Structure formats: C-alpha cells, structure tokens
Amino acid sequence: MLSDATVLVTGGAGFIGSHIVMRALKENARKVIVIDNFVAGKHKNLRNVARDKKLEIIPGDVRDVEVIQPLVKQSDVVFHEAASKLVVSLKTPRIDLGTNIVGTFNILEAAKGTNVRIIHASTGSVLGSADKPMPENHLPEPTTLYGISKLTAEKYCLFYAREFGVRVSVLRYFHVYGPHQDYHGEAGVVNIFLSRVLGGEPPVIYGTGEQIRCFTYVEDNVDANILVAFQEDTVGEVYNLASRARVTVKDLAEMIIEKYASEKMEPVYAPARQGENLRPIPDTEKIEGLGFKEKMAFEEGLEITKRWIEKDIQEDSYY
C-alpha cells in the first residue's frame, strides 16, 4: 500500500505523473517527492495539492546523477514517468536519448542494492504495428527514435531486474488521455481534437484516419501502476497497459464534432506523419490477469476531459 510509503514520481508535474502524485497523497503516502525539469510539466497540474506538506517538488533533471541518486535511495516506490516525448525525439534526438535512456539508467543504478520498488513507464511505441493485438513478447519494431529510446530503457530495466535484483516492472502505456494532458502540442489526439472543436476549429487528421487507438483514461492508468507496484511477482516483467476501447482517429473526430461542435464542420485531412503506427493495438490479457480492468467508459472520460479543457482555456484567457 502507498500509505506510509515515500513515493518518488519523476516527471510528476506532467500529465500522467501529476495524477499519480495526487493519488499517492490521497492514499496517505508519508511523503511524495516530484522531480521534474519542467520542459513539459506545469506547476498548475499540481495546484490542488501544492499546499500539502507531504509534497516536495524538486526542479531537477533525471539525467543529473547527483540529484536523482539520493532521491531514489530515500524512496520506497518510484514511478518513473519523466521522458522526452515523440516530438522531442524528432527535433532533438540527443535530448530524447539522454532523458529516456541515461535518465532511466541513473534511476536503476541508484536502486542497485536497495529495496526500492520501481514502476517504469514505457510505451506501445516500442512495438510498432500489427494486424493482430500484440502480446508483450511480440517482436518490437519501433518506427521512431522515441520508440527506440524507450525500448532501450525497457531492456535496461529487465537487465537490472535479472542481473542485479532491482525491483522494477515495466508498464507499456497506450494512448492515455484525460485532464492535464497538453492540448497545444502534437501528441494526445483526444485533447487536441477537443480543444480545436471547442475553439471552433475542425480537427486535423493525419493520413487516412483509419489508424486505430485504444484510448485509456488516465485514472485507469494510475490504478494499474498501483496494482503492479504491490505485486511482487511482477518484478522483472513487462505489461501492456491499455483499455479495451478501440476507436479510429476518424471516428474520434466525428464523435467529438457531433458531441461538442457549436457549428457544422468537417475534419481536415493532412499528410500522414513519419513513423506513425496504424494498428498499435496490444494484447492486454497479461495485466488483466493481475486484476486490471478499466473503469472509465470512453464517452464519459471524453466528457470529463472536455470539461477540464473548457475550464483550462477559460483560466488561461483570464490570466
């Protein structure tokens, strides 16, 4: 249980990390430490808990051994969410490599010889695409540098678990959505489409729109992190983590227009993006075997996210 644990959340001011932080505080963690270099993280993601005395926010970088090492050593559980995302890997691959590989290596090295439990956030991008749902042991064929750096980090995790007894498990996330996800960027299609439609702009579909996504609500993702953290037989294992929702990008655009557009509009089509996977669909039986089942229905999660975006846009225009 998280109660009485010292919890470190790397990337804790980001989208998923901030939800893990809030959950850990809600579940009475003794202390929750966030390390984030704020390249993508935002203080406002943590504002609901900012006054909680059990929360410590450290502006810092997972690439910096001096900073990360003592934080790992004083923790009981580490949720390692800090990462450079796909767009960074396209523009500045050296940063992607440093954060995703060296940053993860630093955490694993610091954990050697300790009892700390690590849940490492990986991604379906390590796998690629296939006609059938891909189990964890599907041959990984990443199509981006981001996928390559995250796959390498996975390999480090599994090696450190096997060879050095580091208590790390790997969760591969797929298309997480919900409040706090950046809607200005180029990732997070649910939030991007919602914000465009709410602003009176049509969603932009890259490619045909036939690409399938298995959207997973962020709180379900947090549930799975906690579930795995407290099952010892998950150490050294990889789990695909996704909901059973299957939606094409085209259907998503049409659904959001139908539900939320204030005037008639059609999606706009643009050329396909480099390395985009058309069917990045996982087989999720392994994590379901641990008891994971998503709680959030897609349309309900969409509505919650839409309300959050509306509020966020309103606040931004106020300040």
Ligand X SMILES: NC(=O)c1ccc[n+]([C@@H]2O[C@H](COP(=O)([O-])OP(=O)(O)OC[C@H]3O[C@@H](n4cnc5c(N)ncnc54)[C@H](O)[C@@H]3O)[C@@H](O)[C@H]2O)c1
Chain residues binding ligand X by CB under 6 A are: 10-11, 13-17, 35-41, 61-63, 81-85, 99, 103, 121, 123, 173, 175-176
Tell me how many degrees the CA angle 115-117-118 measures, rounded to the nearest 5. Answer: 135
Give the DSSP per-residue string, 22-38.
HHHHHTT-SEEEEEE--
Q: From the candidates 146, 156, 217, 239, which is the catalytic residue? A: 146
Determine whether 146 is an active site residue. Answer: yes
Which residue, 189 or 257, is less far from ligand X as judged by CB? Answer: 189
Q: How far is the CB of 175 from ligand X (least distance, A)?
A: 5
Q: How far is the CB of 51 from ligand X (least distance, A)?
A: 20
Residue 159 CA to its chain's centroid (Å): 22
Which residue, 38 or 159, is less far from ligand X as judged by CB? Answer: 38
Per-residue tokens: 146: 């981001």
Which residue, 87 or 130, is less far from ligand X as judged by CB? Answer: 87
CB proximity list for 267: less than 8 A, separation 6 or greater: 202, 203, 204, 205, 209, 250, 253, 254, 257
Q: How far is the CB of 84 from ligand X (least distance, A)?
A: 5
Which residue, 39 or 65, is less far from ligand X as judged by CB? Answer: 39
Q: How far is the CB of 246 from ligand X (least distance, A)?
A: 15
Report the C-alpha gap between 153 and 158 in whole angstroms: 9
Please give the residue whose beta carbon sits closest to ligand X in the complex. 14
DSSP H or E stretch at residue 177: strand 176-177
Handedness of CA 50, 54, 55, 58 (dihedral sign): positive
| Plot region of 14 (φ>0 → left; ψ -120 to 50 → alpha; else → beta) | beta
Kindly list the catalytic residues.
Answer: 146
